[in-house]
Structure 1
Amino acid sequence: MSTTATATPPGGDVAVLAAYASRGLGVTLVPDSARGDDSGWDFRVLHLSATDGTHWILRQPRRPDASGRLAVEGAVLGAVRDRVPVRVPDWRLHTPDLVAYPRLPGEPAGSEDPVSLVYGWSMDPLAHPDRYLEPLARCLVAVHSTPLDGTWELPGRHPAGPDEVRSAAAEKLARARAELELPAAGVRRWREWLDDDRLWPDRLVLVHGDVHPGHTLVEGGRSGPPVLSALLDWANAGIGDQAADFVDMLYAGGPDVLDRLLDAYRAAGGEVPAGLRSHVLARASFLWVHVALRGLDTGRPAWTRTALRRMPR
């Protein structure tokens, strides 16, 4: 991974941004080929082609806090690149305000509607689990078993232990109760979850943190069903709760997808504690508290309204 962290890349003007990135990458990006993707919560994404026929992804943080997470993401990518059985982004340019890497082949397994926040699949994840859910489970086992040996962790950027993760969730609930009208049934469920020692992990692991269909690429179709080929967008990666990597697949695919993924995870050598499934279900419900607050923090009231409608009542 090459790193250039001097000048701040400009935003807005695609031609200027392409010229800036071209200098750092050693290729000539074509501004007229640009295709934007503003669906991401934290980063703006630009797809560009170069004159030599290569295709590139440029990511720009939307906010300073997203920019600060790039250092963690880069360190995690370095730690997992040779461990996971699928491709991950190979950053060729990395500044505090811009990341660029060759576009990986394949298409997203699904996408999220930006208004309803509901996922639509481009494939049936249960139709051929050996092509998607099982390799995804092997990826998660590889990520979760990454040694926490101090060779890649960044001081002060990760929770100190399980109690800190639990406390952060409790603080988030307290803030949401103070700023939003939460349903009483949801609050009761979340407080019971926070108080149940049986559900919370006794150790933390490396997690991807955002494993949903849009961050998984699949290839195939002509020679057979699509197969998982890449795992993208490690912006939320870090040391955390194992259950975090199952929440979005439950949300996107329902309990059947979760159960098949957990079975495959166990078969691949992953540890599945007795309370993990219940913990994932609770975390998935609590996800709407997170989304509601993100709506407040990023000036997207539609997210907050959608989250409040989706909370358990």
Structure 2
Amino acid sequence: MSAPAGAPGVADPTGLAAYASRSLGLRLDPATARADDSGWDFRVTHIRAADGAWWILRQPRRPEAAERLAFEGAVLAAVRDRMPVPVPHWRLHTADLVAYPRLPGEPAGTEDPDTLVYDWSTDPLAHPGHYLEPLARALVAVHTTPPDITLLPGRARPDRDAEAVRSRIADRLARARAELPLPAGGLRRWQAWLDDDRLWPERLTLVHGDVHPGHTLVVRPPSGPPSLSGLLDWANADVGDPAVDFVDMLYAGGTDVLDRLLEAYRAAGGEVRDGMRAHVLARADFLWVHVALRGIDTGRAAWVETALRRMAA
């Protein structure tokens, strides 16, 4: 799919660099442009300015991704001064392009675009005080940010209460039953989860919505362990169930990572209610339904096939 009208696509780094340079009032070098096409919703270009600083250029893949940018920008503005680690500071925001100085560090892990398996570049359990504990403090900062930004434009479907979140998941399960060969055991588990009032939160919070190793940055000092240096990609930020911010870390690192993260989250002042761990596990089990539907919606057959294999297993 071509980029939205306005900003040139990543296949035209010279045009993209010129477009962004004019908008930002600085000179970006097209010869340094490096495209990252792994994101679900955005294409990303890393590019260096004349002063040596690196910049990130993000372009939405689809109109619905562009429409969410206003809310994402509002969330970043609301949490920036509350966070224990840096988050993107947008210096350009149009309907077809976001630009900001690149945060220091490299992703703590990368995801294979077809198998959706994570390859960690750092052991999340080796030095929890440098990675999982600051990540937990960051999640507490997000979840305790007043969610009144829902009144701003750019958020198409505000959920008024936790029951609305559960209803939306029930709707996705109904759609999946109609469009996919779901396993009988999975259907029983997911329906039991939806029916169990004890597992669902009583209130909603602001959430990042996509916390996984690829969106957490780490810096590697000459001596000492890697440390969390930033939290990226707030495109899925929402007012919703705080459990969503633990699901991908469970998927990527297993229950040991989940338990250590929940322990650090509680120690940092986060609410770990009765049943929350079981709720996160159930959400992770349902993750493959979500991936399969996203594969259908974005035309990625490999995602559908991978999701169906994981459900069957």
TM range (shorter): over 0.9
Q: Secondary structure at the match of 2:165?
A: helix
User: Mind listing any 5+ residue stretches in structure 2 that lack a counterpart?
Assistant: none
Alignment of structure 1 residues 233-272 onto 2, 5 Å: 233-272=233-272
Match for residue 14 of structure 2?
A: 15
Q: Secondary structure at the match of 2:198?
A: coil
Question: What is the CA deviation profile of residues 278-307 of structure 1, one whole-angstrom value per residue up to 9, with x for unaligned ones?
Answer: 000000010100000010010000000000
Match for residue 67 of structure 1?
A: 66
Is 1:179 matched with 2:179?
yes
Match for residue 146 of structure 2?
A: 147
Conserved 8 A contact 2:75-2:149: no
Inter-partner Cα distance in structure 1 for 2:92 and 2:141: 26
Q: State which drifts further: 154-163 or 209-218.
A: 154-163
Q: Secondary structure at the match of 1:33?
A: strand
Q: 1:280 is matched by which residue type in structure 2? A: V
Conserved 8 A contact 1:79-1:146: yes
Is 1:89 matched with 2:88?
yes
Inter-partner Cα distance in structure 2 for 1:238 and 1:151: 8
Q: Secondary structure at the match of 1:32?
A: strand
Inter-partner Cα distance in structure 1 for 2:248 and 2:178: 26
Inter-partner Cα distance in structure 1 for 2:156 and 2:178: 28
- Matched-pair identity in %: 72
Conserved 8 A contact 2:161-2:203: yes
Question: What is the CA deviation profile of residues 247-272 of structure 1, one whole-angstrom value per residue up to 9, with x for unaligned ones?
Answer: 00000000000000000000001000
Shift of the alpha carbon at 1:8?
Answer: 2.6
Q: 1:145 is matched by which residue type in structure 2? A: T
Is 1:137 matched with 2:136?
yes
Conserved 8 A contact 1:76-1:152: no
Shift of the alpha carbon at 1:158?
Answer: 2.4
Shift of the alpha carbon at 1:52?
Answer: 1.5
Conserved 8 A contact 2:35-2:46: yes
Q: Secondary structure at the match of 2:170?
A: helix
Match for residue 169 of structure 1?
A: 169
Is 1:285 matched with 2:294?
no
Q: 1:68 is matched by which residue type in structure 2? A: E
Conserved 8 A contact 1:72-1:157: no
Conserved 8 A contact 2:150-2:158: no
Conserved 8 A contact 2:7-2:19: yes
Inter-partner Cα distance in structure 2 for 1:68 and 1:215: 21
Inter-partner Cα distance in structure 2 for 1:65 and 1:240: 19
Match for residue 3 of structure 1?
A: none
Q: 1:187 is matched by which residue type in structure 2? A: L
Q: 2:45 is matched by which residue type in structure 1? A: L
Q: Secondary structure at the match of 1:311?
A: helix
Q: State which drifts further: 257-266 or 48-57.
A: 48-57
User: Mind listing any 5+ residue stretches in structure 1 that lack a counterpart?
Assistant: 1-6
Tell me the TM-score normalized by structure 2.
Answer: 0.95
Shift of the alpha carbon at 1:312?
Answer: 5.2
Q: Secondary structure at the match of 2:164?
A: helix
Q: Secondary structure at the match of 1:34?
A: strand
Q: Secondary structure at the match of 1:126?
A: coil
Inter-partner Cα distance in structure 1 for 2:277 and 2:62: 34
Going from structure 1 to structure 2, the CA distance change for 1:153 and 1:267 (only over 3 Å counts) comes to: farther
Cα RMSD (Å): 1.3
Match for residue 49 of structure 2?
A: 50
Conserved 8 A contact 2:21-2:27: yes
Matched residue count? 307
Conserved 8 A contact 1:108-1:122: yes
Q: 2:95 is matched by which residue type in structure 1? A: P
Q: Secondary structure at the match of 2:125?
A: coil
Match for residue 294 of structure 2?
A: 294
